[in-house]
C-alpha cells in the first residue's frame, strides 16, 4: 500500500478516533502548542455525555485548549489531571477547588524534565498518546513540530497513538522528530492556527535584570533560557556578541532573533555543531514559520536536551532561569507560592547542574527583589515551599540590585551578599533573621 492510501485508511473523525480510548486509560498528550484541539474537544464531549470514566491524563505544559475542554471543572470527576508542570489553567483549577471546600482537582507529579519520558513510559505506563503533527510528506512522514520533548518517545511506546494533522504545525528536523504513517493508529485532520505566546511588557526591574544577565554572557557562549519578557530582553542585549550557540529546553522568539541577526552561529559547540537544538518551542507565527524546514534548527527528546551530562559537553553553557524565592543560604523555591504548587521544577535543576559542569559554564537564576507590588521580599529567611535548586547547586543569583556568584562563598558571605540583592526596605529584617539563624 502506498503512503497516501495508508493515510486515507487511517483518516477518521475526532469522535470516532477518541471512541477507541477505553475507560480507565492512562492518556498523555502533546504539550503547549502541540495539544490537539479537535481530539481534546471530542474527548471532552464524550466525557460530558458519560461515554468515558476514570480517564487519567498525564501532561507537562497545558494551554487554554485543554483548559476549555478536558480540564474543565465540570469534568473533573471523569477526567483526572496528573500534571507535571502547573500553568495558568491548573492554577485556576486549584483556586476553584479551594473555594469548593478544599476539593483537590489537580494531581501534581514531581519530576525533573529530562526524566519525564522514563516516568511516563516505565513508571506510569501510558497506554494512549495524542498530539498535533505537521502535514505528511511524500515519504509518509509527519513531524512533531514544536514538541519533541517527551512526545516522540511516549508516542512510540504507547499502545494507541492518535495524531491530529495541522498544516500550520512546522516541519522540524531532529532526532526522533519524524513519525511515519505506519506508526499511527488513527489520523484526524484539523487546520487551525497554532496558539501564540502572549507578549508581556517588561517592567523596569526586568530591564535592569536583563542587562545584568547579559553582562555575564561571553562571546562563544551556549545559551539556555525560558520564555517570556525577561529572556527576550536578555536576547536583545546580546546583539553585540559573536558566535553564540543554542542548546535549550525552550526555543523562544528572542533566541530566533539572535539566529536571524547572525549572532548565533553554533560554530563553537562541541556537540551538534552548527545546529540550534531545542526540545519544545513557544512563540508566535513568525517563529513557527522560521522553524519550518529549517536545516539549521533541530529538536531532540528532552532526555537528551536536558540531560546534565549532555549539557556539560558544550563549553561555556549559560543557563538562565527564574525563581520565586531565594533563602539566605542560596536555596531557591521556583515552584511553590501561597501554600500550593504554582509552577514546577521543570528543567531548572537539569540545566543548573549541566551548566556548572560545563567548562566555563554559568548557571544564572534571576528574580525581581519583591512581589505583591513591593510588599513581599523574594529574598527570604526561609523558603515557603520545596527546594527546587539546592543551595549547593546555586551559582549566580541576579535581582535588579545586582548579581552574586555564590560558588565558594561561606554561609556568612552568602547571607550578606544575598541581603544586598534584596530591596533596601527588607535589609534590616533579613539581617536580624540571619543573626537568629547564626548565619552572621
The residues assigned a catalytic role are 249
- Answer yes or no: are the C-beta atoms of 286 and 257 closer than 8 Å: no
Q: Which residues contact 136 (CB under 8 A, 6 or more apart)?
A: 3, 7, 142, 165, 181
Burial letters for 107-138: b for 16+ Cβ neighbours within 10 Å, e otherwise?
A: ebbebbbbbbbebbbeebebbbbbbbbbebee
CA separation for the pair 179, 33 (Å, rounded): 18
Radius of gyration over alpha carbons of the chain, in Å?
22
| 414's grid cell | 552568602
Q: How far is CA 420 from CA 9, 150, 166, 281, 432, in A?
A: 66, 40, 51, 36, 14
CA separation for the pair 120, 26 (Å, rounded): 10
- Answer yes or no: are the C-beta atoms of 266 and 276 closer than 8 Å: yes
Amino acid at each position: 500500500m502506498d503512503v497516501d492510501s495508508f493515510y486515507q485508511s487511517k483518516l477518521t473523525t475526532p469522535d470516532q478516533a477518541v471512541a477507541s480510548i477505553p475507560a480507565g486509560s492512562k492518556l498523555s498528550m502533546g504539550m503547549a502548542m502541540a495539544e490537539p484541539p479537535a481530539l481534546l474537544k471530542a474527548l471532552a464531549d464524550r466525557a460530558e455525555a458519560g461515554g468515558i470514566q476514570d480517564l487519567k491524563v498525564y501532561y507537562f505544559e497545558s494551554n487554554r485548549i485543554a483548559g476549555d475542554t478536558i480540564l474543565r471543572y465540570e469534568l473533573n470527576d471523569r477526567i483526572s489531571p496528573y500534571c507535571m508542570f502547573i500553568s495558568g489553567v491548573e492554577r485556576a483549577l486549584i483556586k476553584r477547588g479551594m473555594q469548593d471546600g478544599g476539593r483537590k482537582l489537580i494531581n501534581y507529579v514531581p519530576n525533573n524534565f529530562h526524566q519525564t519520558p522514563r516516568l511516563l513510559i516505565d513508571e506510569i505506563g501510558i497506554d494512549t498518546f495524542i498530539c498535533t503533527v505537521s502535514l505528511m510528506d511524500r515519504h509518509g512522514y509527519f513531524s512533531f513540530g514544536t514538541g519533541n520533548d517527551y512526545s516522540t518517545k511516549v508516542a512510540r511506546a504507547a499502545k494507541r497513538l492518535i495524531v491530529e494533522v495541522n498544516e500550520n504545525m512546522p516541519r522540524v528536523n531532529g532526532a526522533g522528530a519524524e513519525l511515519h504513517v505506519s506508526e499511527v493508529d488513527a489520523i484526524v485532520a484539523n487546520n487551525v492556527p497554532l496558539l501564540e505566546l502572549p507578549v508581556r511588557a517588561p517592567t523596569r526591574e526586568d530591564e535592569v535584570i536583563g542587562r545584568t544577565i547579559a553582562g555575564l554572557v561571553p562571546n562563544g557562549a551556549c545559551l539556555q533560557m525560558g520564555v517570556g519578557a525577561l529572556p527576550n530582553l536578555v536576547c536583545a542585549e546580546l546583539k553585540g556578541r559573536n558566535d553564540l550557540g543554542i542548546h535549550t529546553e525552550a526555543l523562544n522568539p528572542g533566541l530566533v532573533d539572535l539566529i536571524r541577526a547572525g549572532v548565533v552561529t553554533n560554530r563553537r559547540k562541541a556537540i551538534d555543531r552548527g545546529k540550534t537544538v531545542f526540545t519544545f518551542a513557544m512563540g508566535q507565527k513568525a517563529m513557527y514559520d522560521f522553524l519550518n524546514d529549517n536545516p539549521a534548527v533541530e529538536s531532540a527528546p528532552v532526555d537528551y536536551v536536558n540531560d546534565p551530562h549532555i549539557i556539560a559537553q558544550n563549553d561555556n553553557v549559560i543557563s538562565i532561569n527564574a525563581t520565586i524565592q531565594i533563602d539566605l543560604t542560596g536555596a531557591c523555591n521556583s515552584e511553590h507560592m501561597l501554600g500550593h504548587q504554582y509552577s514546577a521544577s521543570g528543567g531548572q535543576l537539569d540545566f543548573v547542574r549541566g551548566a556548572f559542569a560545563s567548562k566555563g559554564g554559568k548557571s544564572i537564576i534571576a528574580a525581581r527583589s519583591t512581589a505583591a507590588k513591593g510588599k513581599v521580599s523574594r529574598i527570604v529567611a526561609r523558603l515557603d515551599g520545596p527546594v527546587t535548586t539546592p543551595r549547593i547547586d546555586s551559582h549566580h543569583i541576579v535581582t535588579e540590585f545586582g548579581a552574586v556568584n555564590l560558588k565558594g562563598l561561606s554561609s556568612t558571605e552568602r547571607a550578606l551578599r544575598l541581603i544586598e540583592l534584596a530591596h533596601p526596605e527588607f535589609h534590616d529584617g533579613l539581617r536580624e533573621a540571619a543573626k537568629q539563624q547564626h548565619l552572621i
